[in-house]
Chains A and B, each alone.
Chain A
Amino acid sequence: EDQVTQSPEALRLQEGESSSLNCSYTVSGLRGLFWYRQDPGKGPEFLFTLYSAGEEKEKERLKATLTKKESFLHITAPKPEDSATYLCAVRTFGNQFYFGTGTSLTVIP
């Protein structure tokens, strides 16, 4: 069964305290793994796409990595404006998208 699991469910960080969010997946055929940011009451905002194990992408304080079983979203020296829910999703060869339940990140000034 295709499944996406994110951990932790919630994370509180002090401003400047780096950490990582995890997304583990089991799918029949991975066509892409996606990270999104979602602010309360809004639609998800696209961050990264990763296609193959070993791939890495960076954007400002965020860096996403991918292995054959999981992806990490590393947050370096976070700021309060990085507070949001971070969602991971996988796309299968059948063009289906499966989302995890997200990690709610709070960065305290």
Chain B
Amino acid sequence: GAGVSQTPSNKVTEKGKYVELRCDPISGHTALYWYRQSLGQGPEFLIYFQGTGAADDSGLPNDRFFAVRPEGSVSTLKIQRTERGDSAMYLCASSSPSGGDSSYNEQFFGPGTRLTVL
């Protein structure tokens, strides 16, 4: 597709359960970012991939959160033992390589996955 896609659009789960959120970036974009956004707040950085590797995972709040991007395209954010405080909108964004022409630095966001932990 032309844009970033995320599935599911909504996820309701119970406290303690495991969830996976998927992001399909724009074709050819090597950089992929995950953010978490709570109501009334700006997106909060979680993790950044350059290709298959996590270039910066300093935003992951604790070891219950993990993300992978095995083939350098689709990424999955995994949350173990979910807690009510994990409820938020999870956003994925992708961008072109940062080298060379800096006009390719902007991120393009997907529609997000609304996670609700009951």
Q: Does B62 contact A (CB under 8 A)?
A: no
Q: How far is the CA of A4 from the CA of B44 in the complex (A)?
A: 12
A34, B56: Cβ atoms closer than 8 Å: no
Q: A46-B106, A49-B105, A49-B106 are in contact. Are A98 and B55 (CB under 8 A)?
A: no
B42, A95: Cβ atoms closer than 8 Å: no
Partner of B40, one of A32, A96, A99, A101: A101
Chain A residues lying within 8 Å of B91, measured Cβ to Cβ, are 43-44
B45, A42: Cβ atoms closer than 8 Å: no
Partner of A95, one of B4, B41, B56, B112: B56
Q: A43-B91, A99-B44 are in contact. Are A49 and B109 (CB under 8 A)?
A: no
Task: Give the contacts of A87-104 with B (CB-CB under 8 A).
Answer: 87, 89, 91, 94-102
Q: A32-B102, A34-B106, A87-B42 are in contact. Are A43 and B48 (CB under 8 A)?
A: no
Question: What is A's interface to B at a CB cutoff of 8 Å?
Answer: 4, 6, 31-32, 34, 36, 41-46, 49, 51, 87, 89, 91, 94-102
